[in-house]
Amino acid sequence: MRAPTAAEALIAWERGNERGQVERGLELFALARPGVPLEELADVSVGERDGALLDLRAAMFGPELTGRLSCGHCGALQEIALDVDALHVAEPEARELSLSVDGYALSLRRLSSRDLLAAAAAGAAERRGVLVESCVLSATRDGRAAAPRNLPASVVDGIAQALAQADPQADLSLMVACETCGHRTRTTFDIAAFLWDEVDAWTGRLLREIHMLASMYGWSERDILALGPERRRRYVELAGA
Tell me which residue of 191, 32, 34, 26 sits closest to 112, measured CA to CA: 26
Domain annotation covers residue 1: no
Q: Can you give the pLDDT at residue 240?
A: 85
Q: For residue 148, what is the DSSP state?
A: G
User: Looking at residue 67, what is its pLDDT?
Assistant: 87
Q: Are the beta carbons of 54 and 88 closer than 8 angstroms?
A: yes
Task: Determine the pLDDT at residue 125.
Answer: 86
Whether 83 and 21 map to the same domain: the answer is yes
Q: Is 99 helix (H, G, I), strand (E, B) or coil?
A: strand
- Examine residue 140 and state whether it is found in any structural domain, yes or no: yes
Indicate if 23 and 76 belong to the same structural domain: yes
Q: What average pLDDT does this structure show over 132-139?
A: 95
What's the whole-number average pLDDT of the chain?
93
Same domain, yes or no: 42 and 18: yes
Calpha distance 229→221 (Å, rounded) = 14
Q: Does residue 125 form part of some domain?
A: yes
Same domain, 161 and 184: no
Is the same domain home to 202 and 150? no
> CA–CA separation, 179 vs 183, rounded Å?
8
Domain of residue 137 covers 96-166
Please state which of the ranges 87-91, 107-111, 128-132 shows the lowest mean pLDDT: 87-91
User: Tens digits of per-residue pLDDT, 16-38?
Assistant: 999 999 999 999 999 999 999 99
The better pLDDT of the pair 155, 124 is held by 155
Are residue 156 and residue 187 in the same domain, yes or no?
no
20 and 82: one domain? yes
Is residue 86 domain-shared with residue 101, that is, in the same domain? no
What is the residue type of 7?
A
In whole angstroms, what is the distance from residue 139 CA to residue 145 CA? 6
CB count in 10 Å sphere of residue 94: 9
Query: What span, in angstroms and rounded, lies between the C-alpha atoms of 150 and 166?
Result: 23
Q: Could you give the number of structural domains in the chain?
A: 2
DSSP string across 68-129: EEE-TTT--EEEEEEEHHHH--PPPS-SEEEEEETTEEEEEE--BHHHHHHHHHS-TTTHHH
CB 202 within 8 A of CB 232: no
Give residue 169's pLDDT band: very low, low, confident or very high (50, 70, 90): very high
Last residue of a domain, one of 166, 195, 228: 166
Same domain, 34 and 67: yes
Looking at the fold, whether 79 and 185 belong to one and the same domain comes out as yes
162 in the same domain as 106:
yes
